[in-house]
Amino acid sequence: MGAAPLRRSVATAGGLALVITLAACGGRQATEVTTSSAPPLNATVTTDPPPVAATTTATMAPTTTTPASTTPTAATTTTAATTTTAAPTTTLPSATAVTTPGDYVDQDLVIHLTFRSEVDDVSTEQFEAIAMATLTDARGWGPAGFTFVVDNTSDLTVVLAEPGRVDELCLPLETKSYASCQNGAVVALNAVRWRSATSDWDSTVDEYRRYLVTHEVGHLIGLRHPQERCPAGAPKSAVMEPQTGGLVCPGNGWPLKWEIDWAMNRPAVVGPLPSWDGPRPEWP
């Protein structure tokens, strides 16, 4: 990365801005994503449905009322204020850090992540190391053009917390003290699930943790649940299928080949809010 990076701002659907950095890497252009314009916490995300949810997808109906905390407080967003439109602050953005669709297609993305553990016990102490090992594993999202780096200045945050705290971070999504979610710039992982997976999980806790990280960070990079779950002949679950609320196919913590292909042709979204209604893929 010897070339001086070019810095640019991309206006979002909500009139806010996502600051990105373009850096030349061996002839290929990588876009570094270090912040989203989402209110850092108390915001919104995509959730794994809790068990016995009637549907297999998270409820992402646009919220018509705006939380009082919608006004961004992060100073980082002000650096790109020149792109801000006259959108009223009372309007909830359709997606937090959504760029113009297509902006990121055919570009590699470097996603900067802050990790924060709000729990402290022996079974969670390796949280950051385990999560990063998952995100940098060759079986993960890397082949789709994503690189993940630890950067504690980034707004994009992966939090491990007890269920009640996850519920708070995920609102307006309902995680019911059981599930985890992605909500704008925040990925909130349920520490009880991290410790012990689920009652019907059919593999190791390690594999569940890989699923949890790959799935929720998959939402962070703009991926949604498939249109159907585990069609006939599918050997195992797609990683973007919700697997916390009950398994249909065998549990799986890595993207299937078609999910990698899908992620390579992804919509241009980082840190979407629950109201974002992006495309859902079909099994090939």
Q: Which residues bind Zn ion (CB under 5 A)?
A: 48
- Residue of closest CB approach to Zn ion: 48
Minimum gap (Å) between residue 179 Cβ and Zn ion: 8
| CB closer to Zn ion out of 32 and 48 | 48
- State the nearest-atom distance from the C-beta of 222 to Zn ion, in Å: 12
User: In the complex, what is the shortest distance from the CB of residue 5 to Zn ion, in angstroms, rounded to a whole number?
Assistant: 33
Cβ proximity to Zn ion: between 48 and 151 the closer is: 48
Nearest to 130 by CA among 219, 253, 244: 253
* Whether 283 contacts 238, CB under 8 Å: yes
Report the nearest approach of Zn ion to the CB of residue 255 (Å).
13
Burial 162-200 (b: 16+ CB within 10 A, else e): ebebbbebbbbbbbbebbbbbbbbbbbbbbebbbebbee
State the Cα–Cα distance between residues 5 and 110, nearest whole angstrom: 13
Q: How far is the CB of 93 from Zn ion (least distance, A)?
A: 20
- The Cα–Cα gap between 282 and 227 comes to 5
Q: Residue 182 Cβ, how far from Zn ion at the closest point, in Å?
A: 7
Q: Which is nearer to Zn ion, 48 or 259 (CB)?
A: 48
Of the two residues 56 and 83, which places its CB atom closer to Zn ion in the complex?
56
Nearer to Zn ion, 9 or 198 (CB): 198
Q: Which is nearer to Zn ion, 48 or 167 (CB)?
A: 48
- Biggest CA–CA distance in the chain, Å, is 52
Q: 159 and 191 in contact (C-beta within 8 Å)?
A: no
Task: Judge if the upstream peptide bond of residue 172 is cis by omega within 30 degrees of 0.
Answer: yes
Closest CA to 69 of 179, 177, 183, 213: 183
> Where does residue 15 fall: left (phi above 0), alpha (psi -120 to 50 degrees), or beta otherwise?
left
